[in-house]
A and B are shown apart, each in its own frame.
Chain A
Amino acid sequence: MSGPLFLAWRYVLHHRLQTALLVACVTLTVGLPLAVQMLVQRYSEQLMARAHSTPLVAGARGSRYDLVLHALYFRGAAPPGLQAGDAKRLREEELGLAIPLYARFTAQGAPLVGTSLDYFYFRGLETAAGHLPLRLGDCVVGAAAARRLGVQPGGALLTDPENVLDLAGAYPLKLRVTGVLAPSGSPDDDAVFADLRTVWIAQGLGHGHTDVVKNAEPGTILKREDGNVVANAALTAYTEITEANIASFHFHGDEDTFPLGAVLVVPPDAKAAALLRGRYERHERVQLRVPVAEIEGLLGLVFKAKRFFDANFALVALATAGFLALTVWLSLRLRARERETLFRLGCRRGTVALAMAAELGIIFVLSLTLAALAAGLMVALEAPLTRWLLS
């Protein structure tokens, strides 16, 4: 090791605490904005990638951001009011594929997405194990959710009640896990997918129970009128759909009025998209949005806020540089005799300056190394961090 570097290294080793403080200051000043920049960059890329792969989203009139975030990332609540009949009418336009989505509920903490098989083909989702949900009560689990919940094909998941204190609410429905999706690096990894009708059953819009007429215990039937049978609470309602009871599950009312969160619309070409947008421009209840435009608008807000943080970081960096300069200046003053001694012992003044510059160099190298490690860690944790940001 050369003389100046040897002296500098010994100096920073001897003054460990001071060195650690300076390294921490410089690392934070350099590393934090770098990490934030990387995270925001990746976050926006993820948001935009999902938006780019989704041509149009239909939903009830209301917040367009809520609608797009719900339809693309299964986060937050979609504007209420969209019905299954609206998806049917979009299909009847024959201007593209209309994929219904209903993600109001969760299953053991993961978003439970009611949809059709078209969704898996549209997103290019494939199972890593098992198969897609084919039957009422089946579900397929995203890769990350399966890992977190520790489930695999043949296992089961329970839907979460909306409100545990609501005794009149729907009971948790036991879902049969038929497959686990291969990782896709998208919000699909964290979701549980089931048939739309399964989710309606979880909501209590459909149900299965023992045959009131043939199998009910004596006294269960309270009254019969106009072809309807009214039973008391002793009637057994099923909380799991099995081969044995699947036939007993049914819905009351008009399915066209059943709720949806959103509909993904995939027109075959730009003309069809333009026609659809034109038709829904002034629709009374339904709005049709282009996710790319909405996410760009949302990111515009995020980046506007980020500019404040950038300015803040710049000011902090300036202040840190000022403190660093002051520290160096004070240190140089305090060490004037040391410099003079080295000179008297025959050291070149340039070598003395080099030794002191090397101390700063070591601090910067350590800081930049730590910042690079932090950035590397950020890259390694990017997927969960981005998922967390999207949650």
Chain B
Amino acid sequence: MNILGEIVFWVFVLLTIGSSMVVVFHSRIIYSAFALLFTFFGIAGLYVFLAADFLAASQVLIYVGGILTLIIFGVFMTTKITTLSIPQLTHHRYIALIPIGLVFYALVHMIFKTSWPVNVLDVGPTTQMLGQLLLTKYLVPFELASVLLLAALVGAMRLARMFREAD
């Protein structure tokens, strides 16, 4: 990678990490929600560097266009959200060390165990391959995910109806 590509890469890395820090540490939930926009976008940029163009566009479409909008809607709909500030105190400091340590160990273990490809091969357009794989080799997980989403959709509608009947 030449110097210019390197700069763009580091911009995306800093954007991703910096904005995810805001997501975690900011005391106002609306800032966390909007910082997530930049995190998702930065990750999409990193996908581009991995020659996964279709995945990058899907990342933006699904996470920014769908999930982030839903999160922001959720924040908007919550009552008294403007005055709410999330306490950033730590409770049960020593007990928390156990799950944190486990997650940290798992992550470090994975990072060192995976053999990272240093040079990304120019695999060309991935869309067709992805489509074929989804409808052949990975058909069952693909369909399972669809059924799961459908069930969640029906469940959400049922919940919304339940509250309306209660009124």
The reply to whether chain A is a binding partner of chain B is no
